[in-house]
Chain A
Amino acid sequence: MSEVIGAAAAVLRPNIDPMIIAPRTPAEKGGAATQGAAESVKSTDLFRFWRFNDDGTEVADFVLNRPPFREARFLIAGPNFGCGSAREHAVWALLAYGIRAVIAPSFGPLFQSGCFKNGIVPVELDESETVRLAEECAPGAPSALLTLDLENLLLISPRGRKLTFALPEFRRRQLRDGLDEIDTTLQSLGEIERFYRQASAVRPWMYNGEELA
């Protein structure tokens, strides 16, 4: 993935936590022992309580229910987005919906690391800039497409403004090349084993001579 182009839906309320992003579903119910991983989350789980009424009909004025945003690839969010819970379903629900990048002034740390692991770009932008970007991408804005350039770490706003953002280089490469994080770490297995040998020599009481597989 070198580029993301699409509509950007704005949900700017601060401190939105994973239970709002992806409320618990009957699929997570203990009874059926479903495999509670990414594939267990559906696109309709995203912001379920805000998108749908109790009878299942859509909440008409919620942003993701408006025509240009049904295909949104970006979410523009408020400060501390994804704060709190370790629930990765929040990331999976965004992924299932088709969101490939979330732009916010700050993120909950677990949510942010979950984004990297699942191929969603978490873009940190200062608050005034996220608000301005949300205005440019609002309903009715002409050709309100947003572009993210992962090669040059650039966002190009609907009005053509270029905004730079930062990502750790190893995260940028991982996202760009679609690298699996575990495969990447396993390339360092020799270093992990060396570390463990040294650590257990320095503090043998801590590891009791137990072996790494």
Chain B
Amino acid sequence: MGKTLFEKIWDRHVVKDLGDGFALIFVDAQMLTDLSSPQFVQLKERSLPLRFPKRTFAVSDHTVPTLVEGAAKSVSRRNSWTDMMHDKATQFGVTHLDADDPDQGITSIVAPELAIAWPGSTFTVLDSHACTSGALGAMAWASTASDVLHTLATQTSILKKPPVMRISLVGTPGTGITAKDMMLHVLRELSIAGAAGYAVELAGPVIRAMPMEGRLTCCNVGVELGARVVMIAPDSTTVDYLNGRRYAPSGADWDVAVRDWLQLASDDDAVFDRDVTIDVSRVEPLITWGPSPDFVIGISENVPNPVDEPDRERRAVLEAALAYTNLTPGAPIAGTPVDFVFIGSCANNRISDLRSAAAVAKGRTVAKSLDAWVIPGSQAVKRQAEAEGLDVIFQAAGFHWGEPGCSMCGGQGNGFTELLGPRRRAVSTIARNFPNRQGPQSITHLASPATAAAVAVAGHIVDVREFAS
């Protein structure tokens, strides 16, 4: 019997079987954020060495101010968290992309950009969207603070071998339908527990035809299905993407690596514990209506009306959701006035995302009734966007052009000052919209960068297809 992509990578990394389905797994690389200095303090307190400094990376993304423009851009974004992390990184010989580093950015944007994660490698990040790098064919999972310390000290992680679920995307997506829309559709179909505990492999012709940046978005948003890892088999798109990146193999090693990577795809006779096929042909631009990533509707649809729901418990869930998002039951989602548009985060904010948002913004004006911010995912994305003049397009339209970081996705930037106010409504390109996500009592609607840009212009939730140029 053949093996799945996931099983091939898992089997290569088992140090020891711990019984009951658990194993000690070797970690090829770990990436930390500016919130990770306490784990180094603990490491030192316990007199433990850092096991593999060369495979430990840190980037300042969570605490750096991002909603900065004009003169504020010249003020250092370093702060006590980043300084502490920098101090520990220096002490322990860890590469740290600090606030002022030309390669700084969000972990899950930077890891693929610099090829810190590779096909066939095990990669963990102190961030729940670690699985973004699964798009490269890596087994990438999120660690918690305790996991970080364990990996720093042992270069391993204790993991339970998950069952494997293949989600194949088929059909012909409509014009302007993005990777984000497709994954919101998958969430709507399967729910936020739809792949709970599974290792998910995204597959099918739609994924195969998708450029790497779209795949990264898919693997990022895929974690909202409850998946432990989300991954895509390496192919020529993967190889082309990685070629020449900083930490990718080079010279003769490159050819050996590529041969190895291209054998990682699931075997034809591999058996999946679950196998789901989802047609994305009739997907229209999607948006969430309630405070959960699977409360999704099409832009032309009406929000649910609890009176139509026969099941009492389900009805109560709908009522609570609508009370939180302050929407009229059964009313069209389009036309809902919005206070804030946030184009940022590791779900969407690579160069292709900014291009698609800029295409909508070009020659138009942001509605006076709202604030709209574009936060590039990394310094590299920012440089590329500025080279293409996207910053000029955004700013001419009235968008604010910020600095790379996690920003308002999680409401943790700059000591919590970067928050959406209570009851304020945002359309955001992030991946998660649970209650309070962008600040206490904030209301977040998830959507694609193009939809977010269209909303910024309209001042209310709107079908981006009305803006087709």
Task: Assess whether A24 is interfacial by the CB under 8 Å rule.
Answer: yes
Task: Assess whether A168 is interfacial by the CB under 8 Å rule.
Answer: yes
- Report Cα–Cα, A24/B414, bound state, in Å: 13
Task: Assess whether B15 is interfacial by the CB under 8 Å rule.
Answer: yes
Query: Would you list which residues of chain A between 57 and 99 have a CB under 8 Å from chain B?
Result: 79-80, 83-88, 91
Known contacts being A170-B22, A181-B146, is A84 close to B434, with CB within 8 Å? yes
Other-chain contact of B440, A23, A35, A170, A213 (Cβ < 8 Å): A23
Query: Would you list which residues of chain B between 398 and 425 have a CB under 8 Å from chain A?
Result: 411-412, 414-416
A33 touches B81 (CB 8 A): yes
Nearest opposing residue in chain A for B129, CB measure: A86
B416 touches A108 (CB 8 A): no
Known contacts being A19-B434, A23-B436, A186-B154, is A206 close to B81, with CB within 8 Å? no
B21 touches A83 (CB 8 A): no
Known contacts being A203-B260, A210-B55, is A195 close to B15, with CB within 8 Å? yes
B16 touches A31 (CB 8 A): no
Residues of B close to A45: CB separation below 8 A: none
Task: Assess whether A192 is interfacial by the CB under 8 Å rule.
Answer: yes
- Report Cα–Cα, A203/B263, bound state, in Å: 14
Task: Assess whether A160 is interfacial by the CB under 8 Å rule.
Answer: no
- Report Cα–Cα, A108/B46, bound state, in Å: 29
Residues of A close to B149: CB separation below 8 A: 182
A33 touches B84 (CB 8 A): yes
B51 touches A213 (CB 8 A): yes
B253 touches A205 (CB 8 A): yes
B53 touches A37 (CB 8 A): no
Nearest opposing residue in chain A for B130, CB measure: A86
Task: Assess whether A43 is interfacial by the CB under 8 Å rule.
Answer: no
Task: Assess whether B392 is interfacial by the CB under 8 Å rule.
Answer: no
Query: Would you list which residues of chain A between 105 and 147 have a CB under 8 Å from chain B?
Result: 106, 108-110, 113-114, 117-118
Residues of B close to A88: CB separation below 8 A: 144-146
Other-chain contact of B155, A28, A30, A114, A212 (Cβ < 8 Å): A212
Residues of A close to B16: CB separation below 8 A: 188, 191
Nearest opposing residue in chain A for B228, CB measure: A109
Query: Interface size for chain A: under 10, 10 to 19, 20 to 34, or 35 or more residues?
Result: 35 or more
Query: Would you list which residues of chain A between 151 and 201 have a CB under 8 Å from chain B?
Result: 168-171, 181-182, 185-186, 188-189, 191-192, 195-196, 199
B139 shortest CB reach to chain A, Å: 14
Known contacts being A80-B193, A83-B193, is A213 close to B49, with CB within 8 Å? yes
What total of chain B residues lie within 8 Å of the partner, measured CB to CB?
79
B150 touches A185 (CB 8 A): yes
B436 touches A182 (CB 8 A): no
- Report Cα–Cα, A84/B84, bound state, in Å: 27
Query: Would you list which residues of chain B between 22 and 80 have a CB under 8 Å from chain A?
Result: 22, 24, 26, 28, 35, 37-39, 41-42, 46, 48-55, 63, 79-80
B128 touches A84 (CB 8 A): yes
- Report Cα–Cα, A185/B51, bound state, in Å: 13
Task: Assess whether B266 is interfacial by the CB under 8 Å rule.
Answer: no
A192 touches B155 (CB 8 A): yes
- Report Cα–Cα, A210/B94, bound state, in Å: 14
Residues of B close to A109: CB separation below 8 A: 160, 162, 196-197, 226, 228
Nearest opposing residue in chain A for B149, CB measure: A182
Give the B-binding residues of A (Cβ under 8 A): 14-15, 17, 19-20, 23-24, 26, 28-33, 35-37, 49, 79-80, 83-88, 91, 106, 108-110, 113-114, 117-118, 168-171, 181-182, 185-186, 188-189, 191-192, 195-196, 199, 203, 205-206, 210, 212-213
18 more contacts with CB within 8 A, not counting A169-B20, A181-B150, A203-B260, are A23-B440, A30-B80, A30-B415, A49-B440, A84-B128, A84-B434, A86-B127, A86-B144, A106-B196, A113-B144, A114-B144, A168-B18, A170-B20, A185-B150, A189-B154, A195-B26, A210-B52, A213-B53
